[in-house]
Amino acid sequence: MKVANKIYNILIRVPSPIYLGIAVLIFAASNSVTRKIVEIGENHAINGRNPISLCNVLFVGNICALGLMTLIFYKDWQPHILKNLTRKDWISLTITGILSGAIAPALIFAALEQTNVTNIVIIGRIEPILTLVLSVWLLNSRVNFWASGGALISLIGVIVTAFLGSSEQMMTMGGFQIGKGEIFVAIAAIIGSISTVFGKLQLQSIPLGIYTIYRNILGTVIFFLLAIWLYGLNHFAEVFSPFLWQWMLIYAAIIVVMGQLCWLAGLKNATSSELNLANLFNPIAAIIMAFLILGEVPTLAQYLGGSLLFIGLILGFVGNLHEAKTSRELAKLSPREAMEKPIGFRGV
């Protein structure tokens, strides 16, 4: 007991930026780790099939993530709270759940088979840009000059990467050649931005816990049915493989649980500037992780697009600091709100 108390006392003294830094590194590594364990599965095939296929990772990973969400949001699933939801609420929840819980993740995982992680990271930055535009249009949000300029430059960086650094499997769009993987990421980002904005509208009348868990459950079920329809029931033949669950439990423990706990611990006493800096560093860290874990060396197009993206992120960071009342303003987010704070891909 004394040892546990000593460990707890040490942990609570750890500065918030350290926790945020650990969380960002974990989230940034998630795509690269996913591809790496899929490669490991390919070397341990069962009956000629990869037990750690991307479909199995998404399906099992969502189940593991659901356990963490349930621990945080179970209080929202009270009978009297559920009775207050209207038919319109459930319809909108279902639409958002299918889009953001099934289709968008499936597109990201499909992109992992078509293009490299660096492209996914850079092109995936379309999501916060579109979210910004939709928030101004639909939510009447105010955006300062710095944030607008940063979003525009970041968008140019994304376009440069998409058209000059595409994957091998190409498609023709408007006379231009672009890779299938890049298209999948772009569509997923568009869906994600739409879901984010409509999610904010839904959360005005729907508890966050119901929104999050329902989206997870519905997304998992829809994805499972869609995969069976497209590939057949045998596609999930190895879903109960001990080898798969061994790796997914490790993945869930580090990416989902440890990453989220560090994120929540960091937000407890984080300032707005520290939180903005964490969001700024996330895509950069993801590119570095792709190099360290997968050995992906950025191409000239990725260097150019990434540089523009970095400049755009810096301008957006300056804009966020400009809006903050003081440099020591606390983020003041509850653990429930922190779960939905944008930081990039957090694993399945």
Q: Report CA Rg, the chain.
A: 20
Pair of tokens at residue 207:
């508890």
pLDDT at 337: 52
Write down the domain spans for the chain. 15-338
Q: What is the pLDDT of residues 123-134, one digit of tens each?
A: 888 887 787 787
Q: How far apart are CA 348 and CA 343, in angstroms?
A: 14
pLDDT at 293: 92
DSSP letter at 46?
B
Residue 210 vs residues 82, 84, 199: alpha-carbon distances, Å: 8, 12, 12
pLDDT at 328: 46
Residue 140 vs residues 132, 137, 345: alpha-carbon distances, Å: 10, 6, 26
Instruction: Give me the tens of pLDDT residue by residue for the chain, a chain 348 residues long.
Output: 454 455 445 556 777 778 888 888 998 898 899 889 989 998 888 888 888 888 888 888 888 778 877 887 888 888 888 888 888 889 888 988 888 888 888 888 888 888 888 888 888 888 877 877 877 777 677 767 777 788 888 888 888 887 776 655 555 555 555 778 888 888 988 888 888 777 777 767 788 788 888 888 898 898 888 888 877 777 788 888 888 888 888 887 888 778 877 877 777 677 666 776 777 788 888 888 999 999 988 888 888 888 888 888 888 777 766 665 544 444 555 544 554 555 544 444
Cα 26 from chain centroid (whole Å):
12
Pair of tokens at residue 171:
């498609």
The answer to whether the predicted template modeling score (pTM) of the entire model surpasses 0.95 is no
DSSP letter at 171?
E
Q: Give yes or no for a contact between 32 and 112, defined as CB atoms under 8 angstroms apart.
A: no
Q: How far apart are CA 212 and CA 189, in angstroms?
A: 18
Q: How far apart are CA 222 and CA 215, in angstroms?
A: 10
Q: How far apart are CA 64 and CA 59, in angstroms?
A: 9
Length of the chain: 348
Q: How far apart are CA 103 and CA 195, in angstroms?
A: 11
Q: Which among 295, 234, 223 is positioned nearest to 35, based on CA atoms?
A: 295
Q: How far apart are CA 122 and CA 308, in angstroms?
A: 10
Pair of tokens at residue 143:
């955006």
pLDDT at 66: 83
Question: Would you call 326 helix, strand, or coil by DSSP?
Answer: coil
From the number of C-beta atoms within 10 Å of its C-beta (0-12, 13-18, 19+), residue 11 rates as: exposed
Q: Give yes or no for a contact between 312 and 152, defined as CB atoms under 8 angstroms apart.
A: yes
**Single-letter code of the amino acid located at 163:** F
Cα 50 from chain centroid (whole Å):
24
**Residue 176, strand partner residues:** 173
